[in-house]
Amino acid sequence: MIWQRYTFHKIQQNKIQQNLKNNLIRFHVRANSDSSFDQACKLKVRDAIINYLQPKLLESESIEESELIIKKEYDELEKISKNIILENGYDYDVKVGIDYSKFPTKQYSNVVLPAGEYKALRIIIGEGKGKNWWCVMFPPLCFVDEQKGIIDKDTDDKLREVLTEEEYELISQKTSKQVDRVQIKFKIVEIIQDIIK
C-alpha cells in the first residue's frame, strides 16, 4: 500500500516537475563559502539582482521573453554582483548564466514546488562552495511578500497561464495545513528517490 502510494505520488510529481521545468525560470545564488561574511554577501547580491530584474520581468508574458530579458542583462548582473563584493572588501569572480540546476522541494508562500531540475539564472560567487539561495524569477515568486502568506493576483494569474489546471491545483494551496501536506508528500518522494538511486 505504501509502495503504491509512493509510486502514484512519484508519477504525479515527475509529470508536474517536467512541465514546471519548461514553464519556470528559477534563481539560484551560490555563496563562495559558508563563512558568515560570504553568506551575508550572497544575500546582498541576491537583493540587488532581484531589485534590478524585478521591474524588467514583471511585464514578461512568457518564459522565452523572461529568458531573453535575463540574457541581455548578463553583463549588468555580473557588474552589480562584483560591485557589491568589492564594496564589502573582497574581489571574488562571479559567474552568471542560465542553466539547469537541481532544486529541493521548496515552498514559496502558498505554492509548493517539487524537487527536480529546473532552468535557473545562476550566480556563482567565487568558488561557489557555500550554501545556496533560490526563488522563482518567472512567474515572479521572488517578489512575493512573505508576510502576507499568499502570492499576489498578478503572479497567481501568470502561474495559471503557464500551468495546466491540474498542475496549478496541486502546487497552489489555500491553507497552511494544505501547504504542509503537499510539502510532506513531495519531500517523501524526494527522500525515497534518493534512497533507491
**Higher-pLDDT residue of 36, 188:** 36
On the question of pLDDT at 125 being above 90, the answer is yes
What's the rounded mean pLDDT across residues 30-59? Answer: 93
In three-state secondary structure terms, 164 is: coil
Q: Quick check: 94 and 109 in contact, CB under 8 A?
A: no
pTM: 0.76
pLDDT band at residue 189 under the 50/70/90 scheme: very low
Which residue, among 25, 2, 39, has the nearest Cα to 129 in the 3D structure?
39
Q: Quick check: 112 and 171 in contact, CB under 8 A?
A: yes
What's the rounded mean pLDDT across residues 9-32? Answer: 75
Other beta carbons within 10 angstroms of residue 177's beta carbon come to 9
